[in-house]
Structure 1
Amino acid sequence: PLLIVWVILQIPKIMRMFSMWEGHVSATDVGAATYAKVVFFTLTQVFFVSAISSSLLEQLQAILDRPILIVDILAQSLPTKSVYFINYLLVKAFLSLAFELLRPFTAVSALIRRKCGPKHQTEKMKGEPWRGFNKLQNPGGLALPGIQAHMCLCFMVTFTYSALAPIAMLVTAASFGVSALVYRQQYAYVYDPRGDSGGTFWPASAQYAMSINIVSLVVIIAVIGAKQGFAQMGLLFPLLVVLVLFKAYHSGAPLHVAKTLPSRICV
């Protein structure tokens, strides 16, 4: 999990480069495009690929002959992966949040700028990065795409394992609680709020959360079906229909308040 966490921490930077190449005209649009890419990568790579990787390699030829077999593999593999996801979330919560509070990379960046940067600077130069190195007084904005993508992964683990391994919910609850405390403190007292997205992330986050809920329910139905629990499957199908209808309603009637709600008010 430690190596996976380190790789995931680099993904927002890579996806931001791709989003900038797409030609978006504002930093908010770049952030929204980055957010979508990071969410997709995190859910597919960390959740689904990690869940079926070992079985996928063992039965690759059978899957190529019958692609529908991947549903059975997912249904058999997911219940056994709860410990892996618990370890991942624990490492992510405590390691990344510890680095967020201590900010060692920011301190090193400021030290390099102080020792190697230009000695005589104009007022404009003092407020801008030098070769990518910032001062401690210029922390920039909070990296919302990566943070919210991790929250989406927590949603996925919570919704899926609420029925398969309920103890995982205690870990995700702790992750949400600690993350809320840390990021509220950092946003209020450390990061520059002037780069606020204007609330454009919140409707997207709500849409992603509902989509994740639907996908999680489909996964639970597949797991129950693999265990021949057809009566339980029948009881879950009405819930699936309700979720799909609610998502369709929400897509047609977006939250107008959230579209212009600054992050500082949410904090």
Structure 2
Amino acid sequence: MVEQFLSGKVAIVTGANTGIGKAIAEELAKRGAKVVVNYRSHPERTDEMISAIKAAGGEAMGAQADVTHLDQLQAVVDQAVSSYGRLDIMVNNAGLETRTSVLDTSPEDYDRVLDVNLKSAFFGTQFAAKQMIKQGGGGRIINISSVHEDWPMPNNTAYCLSKGGVRMLTRTAGVELAPHGITMVNIGPGAVDTPINASYAGNKTLLDKLDAAIPLGRMAEPQEIASVAAFVASDGASYITATSIFADGGIMQSSPGL
């Protein structure tokens, strides 16, 4: 029997009907949380997710919103509270990348990446924290960041910049929110087998090169990131805040050994 150590908790996961967000929403629900699955498009995927969660004995609901529009993001928080009575766990997961360099990133690319990856995490943190303070009892804010909050990735400059911002958001806001009993942690995945890395999965040469750079020899599965998120959301992580946890298979420490 799966231990439901999040029973009675209410969670929001943004960008949650695909990839890492989907795995996190499903894992939190499996652990007993009532989960609000935020999504921007493909409502049919969300419906399938929620049906599967409920069939497994969990509880979840969908909340369509573009998290770069702050009124819509606030509405997701309001929907969680009106439906489930409170908010205990906020997972700022929505993200994208353009894989463009500093020389060829357009203003439109820049705005899109920073709005989704950083602005939504900043105000998702603000809106969730205000609700947590209002209701009392503290809470957990989890940002799905990246190894690239600290580790350069040439030709993906705006993405790295956005994740570097998320790093300092967590460090600074985590200190500000600590007196309220709200902890804040980044989870920094390395390469994960999700649609964002489909270019590797479909190209054996690229995939072999990537796997060779990872000490564990493979990309992560989304579930391996989700299990870290469930731990961070649990009482077992009650003394971890204003920092990042990397789940990267050791890639940040890899070396050619020259």
- Normalised to the residue count of structure 1, the TM-score between the two structures is 0.39
Higher helix share: 1
Higher strand share: 2
Q: Which has the higher contact order (CA 8 A, sep 6+)?
A: 1
Is the radius of gyration larger for structure 1 or structure 2?
1
